[in-house]
Structure formats: C-alpha cells, structure tokens
Chain A
Amino acid sequence: MTGRLVRIAGPTVVADGLAGAGLNEVVWVGEERLLGEVIRLERDLATIQVYEETEGLALGEPAEPTGEPLAVELGPGLLGSVFDGVQRPLDALAARQGDFLGRGARLPALDRARRWELEPSVRAGDELLPGACLGIARSGPDAHPVLAPPGAGGRIAEVRGGAVTVDEPVVRLEGGTELALAHRWPVRRPRPIRRRLAPDVPFLTGQRVLDCFFPVSSGGTAMVPGGFGTGKTVLEQSLAKHAAADVVVYVGCGERGNEMAEVLDELPKLDDPRTGGPLLGRTVLVVNTSNMPVAAREASIYTGCTIAEYFRDMGRSVALMIDSTSRWAEALREISARLEEMPGEEGYPTYLASRLARFYERAGRVETLGCGEGSVTVVGAVSPPGGDLSEPVTQCSLRATGVLWALSADLAHRRHYPALDWGVSFSLEAERLRGWFEREAGEGFGALREEAMHLLQRERELVEVAELVGTESLQDAERLVLESARLLREGFLRQSAYDPVDASCPPRKALEMLRLHLELHGRAANAVAAGVPLRSILEAGLSARLLRLGSVPAEAIASGAGALRAEIAEAIARLEAE
C-alpha cells in the first residue's frame, strides 16, 4: 500500500490511498523517505506528522506505511548515547552528514558494527518469563543486562554463544520465537509492570533545599516552573549529575543547543561516585533543540520515557529529566493548529491536560516483570510565558505531579541559587518520607525543618514591618531573627552549582548544617533576651563560620560539627558573662 501526498502544510502532510493504515503507524514520506507518523485517519486520507523538515516536498510524492507504530530500540549501547527526539543517533548522523543535520538518513539507534558477548544466565529447557533477564552482554568495558521483551515468554529451546550484534538472535524459544540482545517497544505505550509500590523512599537530589524541605519520592514526579533565567536548566543538570540514580535519561526538549554542548562536554569528565566511571556512562541524552523539527520535539518525551522504563525494568532507579515540558506542549499546540482542531485555553488543544497526566503516570516505583524493584522519577521543567503560573501548562502539571519546586525571578535576580521559592513550593510526599529521613539522616529532622520554615516565615513578616519603619527601629530580638534568617538563606538554602563540594549535599550533612544554624540562633536569642547587645553577638564572627559550611566536605562536617558547636556555645557564654 502506498499513498500520495495531497496536502503539504508545515510539519504535517495529508496522503490519500491509505485506508488500511493505522493510527500512530510510521510512514515514509516523499521520495527522500522522511520519517512520519499517522495522527489522524478519515476514509482513505491519512494526516501525517513529519519528524523532519518538509521544505521541498511536492504533491504526488509517495507515502508508504510501515505497519509499525513509532518505536524505540532498547538494548546494549544505549548508555552514553545522544539521540534526537525519534531516537536517531546524533553522533552517527554527524559522521554521515557533517556538522549540520540533513534529511532522510535512516540509521539504526544502536550501533550495528559493535559486537557483544552474551554471558547467559538461562539455559535450554528453562522457562523464560516475559521481561526476565537473559544474561549480561559485554563489549570492552561495557556490560549491559539483556531483557526478554515484556511480551515474550516460554520454554527456551536454544541459547547461542559467540560475539553478536544487537539484532542477532541469541535465544530461541520453543515455538520458534527468537530473541536478540535488543528489542523494540512503541513509545506511546507504557511498558507493563507487576505492581506499583508505595512512595516512601526519597529520590535524593543533593540539593539541600529540595531534600530537606520539599522532597520527592523515588518514582515520584516533580515540576519546576520558573521564568527564563531562574535556573531550571542548571537545576535539571545538577540533578542529572548528582542525584542518587542508577541511570539518568535527560531530554532536552525544545531548548538550547549550547546547553547540550556543555552537558556533552562535562559528563564525560565527571566521575560517577557509584561506579568510578564517567557520569556519561549512566546517562542517555535525548536532544531535540528548539530549532529541530517540532514534531520530533513532541515525540521526544515519549522516546525518553520509554528508554527510562526499559532501565527501570532491569531493576534500576532511573531519573527522567525533561527540559522543558512547555516546549513539548507548544509542539502539541502547533500540530493541533495545523490540524485545525478546536483550540482550548491559550490555543492549546483540549487534550493537553489528559496527555500530560497520562505522561506523568508513567513515573513510579514498581515491581518489574522480571527484575525486582525499579523506579522512574520524573522531573519536568515548565517555562510559563511571562513567568505567570496561571497558564495552562503549569496548571495542568500542578494536577499531575506531586511536588512543586517553584523558582522565583526575584531570588534569581538576587543571585540566590537555587532560586527556589520556599513560600510557594510544596511536596505532597514530605509526610510519607519523613520516616525515612528520621531514620537515615538523623533524628529530629522533621522538627528542625519546621523550625527553619518558621524562622523564614518570621523574616517575611518582619521585612514588611522594616520597610515601613526602617531596621533601626526594630528590637534586637527582631533584628536577630532577620540576621539568622539571612544566614540561613545565604549559608543553607543557597547552594552553588559551580563549587565542586557544594554542588551536591548528602542529607546527613544538610541536617548537621541545619542543626548548627538553628542552635546558633537559639543561643543568640537567649543571650539577647538576657540583655547581650546584638551588635556584640554579630561581631563575634560566628556567622562567617556557618556561611562557608557548604563548601566543607561531608566527612569534615561530621567530625568537626561537635567542635564548632562547642565554640558557638563558648563564645555566646562569654558574651553573657561580660
């Protein structure tokens, strides 16, 4: 069956003669065989979104359905790779086409020249369960578990040895089904699981303000809205580098090329503390920058998500970072407009909310089909026009996610990074995770957290007063609150992404820092109440010690906190004695 193009308008085309095609089926479009997907069918007319530039297409050119839905290839060699939104390998494309992206190149996602040695963990005669692990594929320093596809199971007739490429059969089941190292899975269909697990383990980000105040669970979902320049990308990248995950899938969706160049430059040079290898070795990048075809941008988050689920199905904890979901929504809107669908709010299609909700539902901590517990945690950046959170993408995301990390332009202008607005952000999971933190980070975690939030709240109130009467007319006790809150903001909430130590903070260190801050405040408050002038407390220079704790390694804090605590107590006691 081959159709003919009867309409060409931007990234969508219409072909006739395709009565037998299916929705979401992949179609080769035009003589250059551009990649497209059927998104609407009416009688024999198929509307196709094209994942490559359509300039130069002519009416009457062929449209040839493939019989397969849009799918990704999952197997050894994914880690460390860079793909576009429909999983074309960008490195291999550059080798073939040069510095700029051309059209019509068909390259498999996984390298066909590379050979892997399968170290099987199954034997002929074994009963293979769908989604189970067949063994480990090795090639040079790389080792990669091999999964049976979720649909395939049965008694094993034969296991073959030797060095094979990802598409060569290694296992034959009775009945004839052959399994290779890699398999394909349609991107828009969630991979099956056994069951979902409760969200009571945190996904540790290494960011103090997030882990302590607004934690997200492993398998949870967090959204990061913020106007331009508020630090969404730096935050997503910090998490990609430092979060406690086995695998990171980073989707650069409709954003900058230079940013991705920076990531590609840094990740190979940074060490993964878990494996000792480069961080790039735990990362898969899906990059569809703002100037790449908009339909492929729409597909990119599904491509990324399916890859994330595949690693989850090996029993790994996976972080799926998306920067930015707003660009995905805009791609959806652009295509919807080309289809002349009835626009909803701000021109977005009315199905925006349900698509977004369904997407975030693919996150979760789960019992996998064959490899125990795994998780996909999703962190989605949102880029609201004008920084206005009342817009549709933010509002739909708010209903779909469990944690809000709102970034504030005001804090960013003050160079307070991460510019997390503690007055607006929330975590619906904080309560469930409290037990974990009390157990693992240290007792009293919850109480300290509340005390700190209270201090920040008091500061807010006092600043309003001070703006009317001037700081000079505040009482010493009140000015101490302002000073302590400032110290907490500067020394605890702020965290430099560029300081090698401060870039990531384990929860124990964060707790110790928080404890020191609040202890200093408590003792100082007692001293002020006892009549010690605030000025002399400030001049004792204790705050400078707390300011620099961020760049002190966790071990040094663990061993030195006691001495610092004693020093604080002593200095204040001396002032009280004077």
Chain B
Amino acid sequence: MDLVTRRVRGAEGIAGPLLFLEGVPRARLGEIVRIRAGGEERRGQIIELTGARVAIQVLEETRGLSPARAEVTLTGEVAALGVSRGMLGRVLDGLGRPVDGLPPPIAEARLPIHGAALNVTRREKPADFIETGISAIDGMNTLVRGQKLPVFSCAGLPAGRLAAQLVCQARVRGGERFAVVFAAMGAPFREYDAYLEAFRRAGVLDRTAVFLNRAEDPPIERLMTPRCALTCAEHLAFGHGLHVLVVLTDMTSYCEALREVALAREEVPGRRGYPGYMYTDLATLYERAGRIAGRPGSITQVPVLTMPDDDLTHPIPDLSGYITEGQIVLSRELDRRGIYPPIDVLPSLSRLMGLGVGAGRTRADHRPVADQLYALYARGRDVRRMAAIVGAANLGEDERRLLDVADRFERELVGQGDAFRSIEDTLELGWKLMAPFPPEALTRLPAAVLEARRKEAP
C-alpha cells in the first residue's frame, strides 16, 4: 500500500461483482476506487468494511478480472458528478460521460450523486401545472410542478411512445424556463434509437439532457444512472432556476438491477427476490422531486415502469405507488381497441391535482368537470360490465346513455393520438361529452359552475 497515492497492488479475491482487498487504512464507506487490470480500467465503490477487509462493488463487468494482477487506487471521493447547464443538448452515458462524440461539458460544480435529503421545513408544496398536451393527464390527472407521477405500463404497450411524447410536448405556461432530463435504464438499441430520433425530429434536444444506460451496460451502472440524472436535474432546478421534468425509464430495469446486485452480495432476499430495502432505495430517488422555499426552479418526475405480468401488486409498481404522488395506468384493453394513449383513467390518480388546477392555474371549472366526467365514466363502465351479462336490450334509458358516454370518453377524450391538445380544448371536449345529460344528473357540478357555463355558452 502506497500511503500517498493510496494504491494497492493485488486484491485478495473476487466473487461476482465484488472485489475484496485487505489492509487498506482509512478506506471509507461509499468511497470510489479505480481498478487497473491488464490494459483496462474499471471503477468500483466500497460497500462494506469489516476488520481489515474491504468489499468493493465493481461498477463494470468483472469477467476476466484477475484479482492478483489488479491495481486498486482509492480516490478519497464518494460517487460524484460534474454538473453544468451545458449538459442540456447532450447525450451522456449512464454515468454522465458523453457518448455524442463531443467533449465533456465543462463542470460548474461537482456533486455527490446520492444527494442529501431535503429538509422538510424548506420544502415548498408543489403548485402550478405542467401541460403535457395529453387530455387524460392534463384534464383528469394533472401533473403538478414538484410532483412525482409514474406511468405504470405493461409489456408491449406503447409506454416508450408516451414517454417520448412527454419529453417532446411538455411545457410550462407563463414563459418560465423549462428543461427535461431524460434517463433511460437498460434500454435496448431499438428503444434508445427511437427516443433520440424523436427528440431530434421534435427539435427538443436543446432543452434536454439525455442519460443513456444501455441494455448491454452492467447492471450496477444502472443503479447510478437515475442518481446522475437527478443530480444534474437538481443543479438545473436549484442552481439555475429551471423547471425541470425528469423522465426515468424503465424503472423495472432499475429494480431488476437492484435485485441482481443484492443477490450477488448474498443479501437475504425479500418479496419476490427483491431486497427488503427496495422501498427506501426507491424513495431516495423519487423523493428528489420537489420545490424549495425561496428558490425559483422545480423538479417534477415521471418515472415509467413496466408491471411484470401486468400485475399492479408486484413489488415494483406497488412500492413505487406507495412513494409517488399518484399513477398513470396504461391498459392492455384500451390498447387492443386501438386507443392511444391507452390511459385507463379509473385506476389512475394524481394526488396533487388540487394544487395545480383551478382559476388562475388552469380554469375554474377544471376540478368539477374532471370529477363529473370521472363519475359518469365510472358508472358507464359498470353498465358495460352489466350489459355484457344481461344483454344491452335489458338496459334502461339512463344506462344506455351512460354506456354511450363511456365509449365516447375513451374514443374521443382519451384516444387523442399523438396530437397536442391544450387544457382549454380538453375541458371543452369534456363539456361536449356531458351535453346529453340533464343538469340533475350532473351531481358533481356545483350549481354555480352550471350557471356560469349556461351564461357563457347558451
């Protein structure tokens, strides 16, 4: 051991992604190390210290790594990322290194990627909405600045198309500055190529920082990718005052990497093999959404995840749902019927919607219209289920009207295709769908709202 450079020649052993060293004084938990072996350099992180023994998690593939020939240098630094505004417009790898052929952006600061918890007394509650141009979100499950609102998808559904659409279309009103941080975890070529193509075509790359962890990259790197992306987002939001939308996809790949790494460490597995601390781990990502009192920017997160086996109770969507502030659920049924985006409004929810809608934010009638549409659609779906059993002929007039509104709601309001629809157009369409109902049937609309509507559009 060279005490000045803190370099060790030869490791004691290796097991899967773990490398073991002996006799390294002052090694610190979480410290980053560099491992040279053969002509290659790898990076690693100290994850446990016991007696004289140091366990290092290697961040790259360990195949072919010979412990006896490894030379390990301790950097004295925990995992950190150089961040700058210049990351916008750039395509970076999962650890923040450029992959677009350009030189690295000049760092304005170097920040630990694990971040620190925001002191709750300094948190500002989320407020104001982000317009996505998607009616089922803007109208029915509004995304609010500072919120974390995941998309729950199933294998084979167009979640990627929706994620790209969000990156391309989302905007804040009122001319404030807006940026997107997009992080792909475990993305196959087909997917990330389509994303980049979509961003270029829409001309939004300039306002976007892309972090790309590809399917072939080692799983441990996948665990760093969202942390790098969020560190960059925090710098843009709280250092530069931008409203930052962070899209993280696919969180299922992330969680699978977490499980793989945990099992390699021989940790006791929890539910379905995922580690018992997955809730805490996911929370350290999702909780990095928010606003800070007295600072202009905000971080809003849309994590996208695929529900294994279409199962909403699987630990990945389940734990995510417990941490995030609602969820946008995609439905195989709607997709099969050719409806895009196939958002099922009933199990979807934006818990913070109330903070982002209403007079001065969207429109005074927003909340009641959304509640009424929701109620009609929910009852229409009940009728549809009943009609499947008793036959449409046995339905009463009221029931037929409900059935009809459910169909139109799905085809016209939800199934808007790739077009951008403003919140005003969404609400107008909502009123159109409610038109066949007499005022008494619209119990969720306060008298004042009905009255105002009647005056303005006789």
Nearest CB in chain A to that of B26: its residue: A58
Contact at A101–B279, with CB atoms within 8 Å?
A: no
User: What's the Cα separation between A337 and B121 when bound, in Å?
Assistant: 32
Which of B11-19, B128-136, B264-272, B425-433 makes up part of the contact surface? B264-272
Contact at B268–A347, with CB atoms within 8 Å?
A: yes
Q: Quick one: given A82-B121, A287-B120, A472-B396, are A59 and B48 in contact (CB under 8 Å)?
A: no
| Mask of B111-127 contacts with A, CB within 8 angstroms, 1/0 | 00011111111111110
User: What's the Cα separation between A93 and B29 when bound, in Å?
Assistant: 25
Contact at A58–B49, with CB atoms within 8 Å?
A: yes
Q: Is the CB of B378 closer than 8 A to any CB of chain A?
A: yes
Nearest CB in chain B to that of A412: its residue: B349
Contact at B394–A473, with CB atoms within 8 Å?
A: yes
Contact at B119–A6, with CB atoms within 8 Å?
A: no
Contact at B120–A261, with CB atoms within 8 Å?
A: yes
Contact at B49–A8, with CB atoms within 8 Å?
A: yes
| Mask of B80-99 contacts with A, CB within 8 angstroms, 1/0 | 00000000000000000000
User: What's the Cα separation between A566 and B350 when bound, in Å?
Assistant: 43
| Mask of B284-325 contacts with A, CB within 8 angstroms, 1/0 | 100111101101000000000000000011110011011101
B318 to chain A: which residues have CB within 8 Å?
227-228, 385-386
Q: Quick one: given A55-B78, A101-B117, A385-B271, are A466 and B386 in contact (CB under 8 Å)?
A: yes
Nearest CB in chain A to that of B78: its residue: A55
A58 to chain B: which residues have CB within 8 Å?
26-29, 49
Contact at B121–A258, with CB atoms within 8 Å?
A: no
User: What's the Cα separation between A256 and B147 when bound, in Å?
Assistant: 11
Question: Could you say which of A98, A100, A256, A470 contacts B323, with CB atoms under 8 Å apart?
Answer: A256
Q: Is the CB of B389 closer than 8 A to any CB of chain A?
A: yes
| Mask of A515-546 contacts with B, CB within 8 angstroms, 1/0 | 00000000000000000000000000100100
Which of A186-194, A267-275, A289-297, A360-368 makes up part of the contact surface? A289-297
B residues 113-168 with Cβ under 8 Å of A? 114-126, 146-147
Contact at A333–B118, with CB atoms within 8 Å?
A: no
Q: Is the CB of A439 closer than 8 A to any CB of chain B?
A: no
B50 to chain A: which residues have CB within 8 Å?
6-9
| Mask of A345-377 contacts with B, CB within 8 angstroms, 1/0 | 011000000000000000000000000000000
Q: Is the CB of B51 closer than 8 A to any CB of chain A?
A: yes
Contact at B279–A290, with CB atoms within 8 Å?
A: yes
Question: Could you say which of A6, A292, A346, A547 contacts B271, with CB atoms under 8 Å apart?
Answer: A346
Kindly provide the distance from the CB of B9 to the nearest chain A CB, expressed in whole angstroms. Answer: 20
Question: Could you say which of A227, A229, A290, A385 contacts B283, with CB atoms under 8 Å apart?
Answer: A290
Q: Quick one: given A93-B119, A229-B326, are A385 and B125 in contact (CB under 8 Å)?
A: no
Contact at A294–B280, with CB atoms within 8 Å?
A: yes
Number of interface residues, chain A, beta carbon within 8 A: 72
Q: Is the CB of A20 closer than 8 A to any CB of chain B?
A: no
Q: Quick one: given A387-B313, A470-B394, are A333 and B48 in contact (CB under 8 Å)?
A: no
User: What's the Cα separation between A257 and B126 when bound, in Å?
Assistant: 11
B40 to chain A: which residues have CB within 8 Å?
none
| Mask of A250-271 contacts with B, CB within 8 angstroms, 1/0 | 0010101110111011000000
Contact at B268–A343, with CB atoms within 8 Å?
A: yes
Contact at A90–B279, with CB atoms within 8 Å?
A: no
Q: Is the CB of B39 closer than 8 A to any CB of chain A?
A: no
A547 to chain B: which residues have CB within 8 Å?
443
Kindly provide the distance from the CB of A18 to the nearest chain B CB, expressed in whole angstroms. Answer: 16
User: What's the Cα separation between A56 and B78 when bound, in Å?
Assistant: 7
Question: Could you say which of B114, B123, B126, B315 contacts A260, with CB atoms under 8 Å apart?
Answer: B123
B residues 332-357 with Cβ under 8 Å of A? 346-347, 349, 351-352, 354
Q: Is the CB of A334 closer than 8 A to any CB of chain B?
A: yes
User: What's the Cα separation between A333 and B276 when bound, in Å?
Assistant: 7
Q: Is the CB of B375 closer than 8 A to any CB of chain A?
A: yes
Kindly provide the distance from the CB of A217 to the nearest chain B CB, expressed in whole angstroms. Answer: 30
Q: Quick one: given A229-B351, A470-B386, are A544 and B119 in contact (CB under 8 Å)?
A: no
Kindly provide the distance from the CB of A450 to the nearest chain B CB, expressed in whole angstroms. Answer: 28
Q: Is the CB of A415 closer than 8 A to any CB of chain B?
A: yes
B residues 10-56 with Cβ under 8 Å of A? 25-31, 48-51
Q: Is the CB of B448 closer than 8 A to any CB of chain A?
A: no
Nearest CB in chain B to that of A100: its residue: B116
A262 to chain B: which residues have CB within 8 Å?
125
A177 to chain B: which residues have CB within 8 Å?
none
Contact at B283–A57, with CB atoms within 8 Å?
A: no
Contact at A99–B119, with CB atoms within 8 Å?
A: yes
B117 to chain A: which residues have CB within 8 Å?
100-101, 257, 289, 291-292
| Mask of A313-339 contacts with B, CB within 8 angstroms, 1/0 | 000000000000001001001100100
Q: Is the CB of B371 closer than 8 A to any CB of chain A?
A: yes
Kindly provide the distance from the CB of A53 to the nearest chain B CB, expressed in whole angstroms. Answer: 8
A98 to chain B: which residues have CB within 8 Å?
119, 122
Q: Is the CB of A469 closer than 8 A to any CB of chain B?
A: yes
Question: Could you say which of A54, A100, A265, A472 contacts B119, with CB atoms under 8 Å apart?
Answer: A100
A59 to chain B: which residues have CB within 8 Å?
25-27, 49, 51
User: What's the Cα separation between A97 and B119 when bound, in Å?
Assistant: 9
Question: Could you say which of B25, B146, B394, B399 contacts A258, with CB atoms under 8 Å apart?
Answer: B146
Q: Is the CB of B193 closer than 8 A to any CB of chain A?
A: no
List 27 interface pairs A-B (beta carbons < 8 Å), by A numbering.
Answer: A7-B48, A8-B49, A55-B78, A58-B28, A59-B49, A60-B25, A90-B119, A94-B121, A228-B322, A229-B321, A254-B280, A258-B289, A260-B123, A261-B120, A261-B125, A291-B283, A292-B117, A330-B276, A347-B270, A347-B271, A385-B271, A385-B315, A413-B378, A468-B390, A470-B395, A472-B396, A473-B394
What are the 7 A-B residue pairs with the smallest beta carbon separation, nearest first? A386-B313, A290-B283, A470-B390, A55-B30, A261-B123, A100-B116, A291-B287
